[in-house]
Amino acid sequence: MADGCAITGVGSYVPKRVLTNADLEKIVDTTDDWITSRTGIRERRTAAEDEYTSTMGIAAARIALERAGVDAADLDLIIVATITPDMPFPATACIVQQELGAAKAAAFDLEAACTGFLYALEIGRQFIDNGTYQNVLIIGAEKLSSIIDWKDRNTCVLFGDGAGAAVLQHRADSRGVLATRLGSDGGKANILAMPGGGCRQPATVNSVNERIHFLKMEGKEVFKNAVNAMTGAAKEVLERSGVGMEDIKCVIPHQANQRIISAVGERLGARNDQVFVNLHKYGNTSAASVAVALDEAVSTGRIERGDLILIIAFGAGLTWGATVLEW
C-alpha cells in the first residue's frame, strides 16, 4: 500500500544548559555512579527561565516545517502533546499557532504524558487518512524542570527538558504508518502523577508547603508496568503490520531508563544495534522523548527513507503505545 500518512519532516530542540550528574551531587544526596548504574543517564538539559514549552516546541516545529518544505500558513492542524503547558489555558498549541503564523490551523493540546507524541501521531494520521486535512504538525514538548522536586533524589535525576516535532502528510512513495496500538490503565494512575494544581487539589499555601505540585513516582511499579505494556504493544503492531523484528531497521523506545529499554529490547528479540538510545544525554523528556530520539536517529543516518521503524512509549495515566511506520 502506497500513499500512506507519512512523516515528511522532523525536528527537535533541547536547551543549551547542561545539568550533569556531578552537578546533581551538589544538590541532592546522590552520586554519578549511582545515577548512571541505575538509569543510564549521565546528563540532561534544563530550560532557561525565559524558555517555555511553547518556545521549545516552536523551535522544533520550524525545523520540521523547513525539512518538510511546508509553510506554516498551509498547516491545517497543530497538536501539542505535553504535561507542562505554558499555562492551564489557553492551549500551548494556540500559542505555537500564533507564533508560527499558522492562521488557518486548528490547534489543541493533548495530555498522555510520555506517550503523548504517539497519541498525537495517531490522531494526526486519522485526519490525514480520512482526507479532512493535508498538513498536520505534531509536537511533543516539556519543561519538566518546572514540576520536578529538586529535593527528591529518586526523581530529580531522571528528567530533562526539550521538544520534538513532525509534519504529517500523504506521501505517494511511502506506506507511512502501518499500525498503531494505544492503551491506558487509569487504575494505576497514582503510581506516576502530579497531585496538585488541578480542581481536585488547587494551589493553596498548604498544598505548596506539602509539595504536591511536583511529580511523584513509584519507581518499581512504573518499571514493571512499562516493560510489560511496551513489549505487548510492540508485539501487537509488528503482527498487525506483517513484519518481524528482523525487518525493523531502528527501534525508538521511550528514553526513560536504560534498564527498561534493555528489558523491552530483550523481550522483543531486538539486536543492540537496532535500538536507538540517547538517554545518556537528555534523560527522560516525557512527550518529547521519542520525537527527539527520532530526529537524532534520522540526522545521524541511523534511519533512511524506506526503512521500517518501531516507536514504543509508556507514561503516566498509565498510557502506552507502539507504532510501526515506513520512513
Q: Tell me the catalytic residues.
A: 114, 254, 284
Handedness of CA 114, 297, 66, 180 (dihedral sign): negative
CB contact at 8 A, 322 and 241: no
Q: How many C-beta neighbours within 10 Å does residue 191 have?
A: 18
- The residues, any chain, with a CB within 8 Å of residue 319's CB and separated by 6 or more, are 112, 113, 114, 115, 116, 119, 182, 183, 184
225 Ramachandran zone, left/alpha/beta (phi>0; psi -120 to 50): alpha
Decide: 324 and 237 in contact? Cβ < 8 Å. Answer: yes
Phi then psi for 119, rounded to 5 degrees? -60, -45
Q: How many residues does the chain have?
A: 327
In 3D space, the residue among 295, 236, 227 whose CA is nearest the CA of residue 61 turns out to be 295
Question: Which of 187, 208, 207, 161 shows the shortest CA–CA distance to 51?
Answer: 161
**DSSP assigned state of 126:** H
- Cα separation, 203 vs 213, in Å, equals 8
Alpha-carbon distance 198 to 185, whole Å? Answer: 20
Residue 301 has a CB neighbour count (10 Å cut-off) of 7
C-alpha cell belonging to residue 69: 518544505
| Residue in the structure block whose three cell numbers are 518499581 | 220
Measure Cα distances from 108 to 90, 124, 144 in Å: 9, 12, 20
106 DSSP assignment = E
